[in-house]
Structure 1
Amino acid sequence: MPANTNSNYKRPFPLFSAHAETIFPALFRKIKNLPAARTERITTSDDDFLDLDWRTQDSNQLVIIQHGLEGSSDRPYVLGMARIFYQHGYDVLCWSFRGCSGEMNLRPVFYHSGATSDLHEVVSHAIKKGYSDIRLVGFSLGGNLTLKYLGETQRPAEIKSAVAISAPLDLAAGADNLHTTRAKIYERRFLKTLRNKIRQKALYMPEAIDTSWLRKVKSVRDFDEYYTAPLHGYRDANDYYSQCSSKSFLKGIQVPTLILNAQNDPFLTKESLDHQLTEDLPEVHMETTRHGGHVGFMLKDTSGYYWSERRALEFCKCF
């Protein structure tokens, strides 16, 4: 569909910059009026595990939510989206990628931007439980993952719509952008936890994980070069980015899908804001906003909802 700049979002005072819009919600947002989750652990086809957090109310409609890089199922942005869908009648499934639920996974692999087989296992598990109306919502890395999943092949008919928020459609450009002055504060935070996970996994499987490469990791691109790519069967970082960037899969998407990215997102580059990407795609809607930051879109009203949450629900209700 022809893309547009959505002018409905107005950032509230005092969020006067992209960094404030990004950091304030991540550090200070608290989600109230959401039931506690029931956690289910499922075994994957390769004998690993995924932890799924369920909030159910006997609905036949389900939203499945994917978090971002080094996130988890209990991050405020995930729970905020879970709350608005739950309070409007949906069952909610938030899940943590491998190694992100507080316990290291069992296989000599992690999660990554293209690991759609895990998302497919989660969706298939939900369908076996009887859900016939499923919506997908992905944030950042989880947004790229959602788009790639939908565009790879014909997906289950039970998936009716999807929303990707703050999604890096071009992984190479996104990784290089994180190493710039504008975004280096976020890269340092990611690298700290990623390095810790490599050290932790190496304690359990030293034959598969070589920690000596960590001294060469100075950027997210370096991490992908020395760890993400070789551990998951890619030739190098460029091969990984090329094969997993969701912009290459948009043309295959056959369900109504909204991409919602902010023009001032410190994580994203022009490649993820290019309106021409969806111009000839009947099912893919791209909306960019002037403000919003990365996984921000804060509102200042009594509901507690964020603008991106309202927009995601509104979009899904249309299909």
Structure 2
Amino acid sequence: MSGMTHKAGFRAPRGLANPHIQTLLPLLLPRSKLHVETELLTLPDNDVVELSWAQPSHPDARAPIMVLFHGLEGSIDSPYARTLMRTATDMGWRAVLMHFRGCGRVPNRGLRSYHAGETADAYWMLSQLTRRYPNALKVAVGVSLGANVLLKLAAEQGGDGLDLAGAIAISPPLDLAASADAINIGFARYYQRHILKSMKHKMMRHVEDGRLSRINRQQLKALDTFWAFDNEITAPLHGFGSATDYYQRASSGLMLHRIELPTLILHAADDPLMPINLLDRLPVPSRSVRIEMAEHGGHVGFIEYRQGLLRPWLATRVAQQLESWRNVPGRKPQTRLLGRNQPQD
């Protein structure tokens, strides 16, 4: 499969190629200025997800829409979210981020949360956009966990099952078990500890109000790896037999051959959350999927020097792709995936 990937246009600056430097750099750069309006969207089970709409919103109901799905414990305040939302808005797109359950400012009502394979909420949200803006071209962008959700949703829904012109998946954990292993090694454990702290904090509320009775405070605090947390919390809460069962059924990498929607996957070969040569172990993706692999970039990093300043390459690449899909008149761009007809690197 490695021969089917294309070389990404990203080049890491000298001295900043280390994957952990790339992963952490976005946290250190100035945040994009972004004004948002919050909407609470009620789901079929009467829980809610929080939508953040970039402002000012385009007045034309036919203006194209970029939908963003964030990463694990991410939000509208994540650096990549602000950057991509601002990029789309500056291009004349309507931009909206869907917070997964409990990731916005409003706690979710139910015990059920979200996970890497949970596509129902995203599908419902997209269907509501279709009702509101039936004549607007729509593109979805997913980052990390959100990218896995988006790829799985595209695989499940077939070519015409989604009102999307295309999908962009940034640093998706294509094999969740392999990623859970990788994040438990070396410096990557720093990310695991940081994210688990947030996840356990949210679950502690349910332990204390008695709704999560299968585990006590001390047992919850003791869960120190994704494997442990997903085995004891995520899997049983969402109908999986174990963490292994959850990872197997939720990983999008095993479904890439089923995707009919024009899809761009952006990845870095040194992503600390993805084992080296993982793509070689996955099924060959469909012709609708284009994978662009950078030698460096870390996990959702991709920070380059441009005009003497450190800037996010992701904003440039996503803008190129949005523009490409926007220019396809009156139809889903089945043949206009940027670079589709270029020779492979």
Q: Given the two structures, how large is their TM-score scaled by the length of structure 1?
A: 0.92
Deviation at 1:14, TM superposition (A): 4.6
Cα deviations by residue, 1:104-160 (Å, 9 ceiling, x for unpaired): 211111110011001011101111111431101001000100000100123545201
Q: For 1:184, which of 162, 178, 189 is the aligned residue?
A: 189
Cα deviations by residue, 1:152-199 (Å, 9 ceiling, x for unpaired): 123545201010001110001011111111411111111111111111
Aligned amino acid, residue 155 of structure 2: G
Residue 41 of structure 2 corresponds to: 42
Aligned: 1:60 with 2:78: no
Cα deviations by residue, 1:258-316 (Å, 9 ceiling, x for unpaired): 1111011111113644497445x110011110011111111333598521222122223
Which runs of 5 or more residues in structure 1 are unaligned?
A: none
Judge conservation of contact 2:227–2:243 (CA < 8 Å) in 1: yes
Secondary structure of residue in 1 paired with 2:174 = coil
Residue 311 of structure 1 corresponds to: 317
Q: CA 1:161/1:300 → structure 2, altered by over 3 Å: closer, same or farther?
A: same
Q: For 1:291, which of 289, 296, 307 is the aligned residue?
A: 296
Distance (whole Å) between structure 2 residues aligned to residue 243 and residue 209 of structure 1: 23
Secondary structure of residue in 1 paired with 2:230 = helix
Secondary structure of residue in 1 paired with 2:169 = strand
How many corresponding residue pairs?
A: 316
Judge conservation of contact 2:204–2:220 (CA < 8 Å) in 1: no
Q: CA 1:207/1:266 → structure 2, altered by over 3 Å: closer, same or farther?
A: closer
Residue 137 of structure 2 corresponds to: 133
Q: Given the two structures, how large is their TM-score scaled by the length of structure 2?
A: 0.85
Secondary structure of residue in 2 paired with 1:249 = helix
Aligned: 1:74 with 2:77: yes
Distance (whole Å) between structure 2 residues aligned to residue 264 and residue 207 of structure 1: 38
Aligned: 1:143 with 2:147: yes
Q: CA 1:181/1:304 → structure 2, altered by over 3 Å: closer, same or farther?
A: closer
Cα deviations by residue, 1:193-240 (Å, 9 ceiling, x for unpaired): 111111122233435563353255120111000000000000100110
C-alpha RMSD of matched pairs (Å): 2.2
Q: CA 1:185/1:173 → structure 2, altered by over 3 Å: closer, same or farther?
A: same
Distance (whole Å) between structure 2 residues aligned to residue 271 and residue 224 of structure 1: 25
Distance (whole Å) between structure 2 residues aligned to residue 136 and residue 272 of structure 1: 24
Structural mapping, 1:24-39, within 5 Å: 24-32=25-33, 34=34, 36-39=35-38
Residue 115 of structure 1 corresponds to: 118
Identity value in percent = 33
Secondary structure of residue in 2 paired with 1:11 = coil
Aligned amino acid, residue 54 of structure 1: W
Residue 4 of structure 2 corresponds to: 3
Aligned amino acid, residue 129 of structure 1: R
Distance (whole Å) between structure 1 residues aligned to residue 322 and residue 212 of structure 2: 46
Aligned: 1:257 with 2:263: yes
Q: CA 1:160/1:113 → structure 2, altered by over 3 Å: closer, same or farther?
A: same
Q: CA 1:304/1:37 → structure 2, altered by over 3 Å: closer, same or farther?
A: farther
Aligned amino acid, residue 3 of structure 1: M
Q: CA 1:156/1:317 → structure 2, altered by over 3 Å: closer, same or farther?
A: farther
Distance (whole Å) between structure 2 residues aligned to residue 211 and residue 316 of structure 1: 47
Deviation at 1:70, TM superposition (A): 1.0
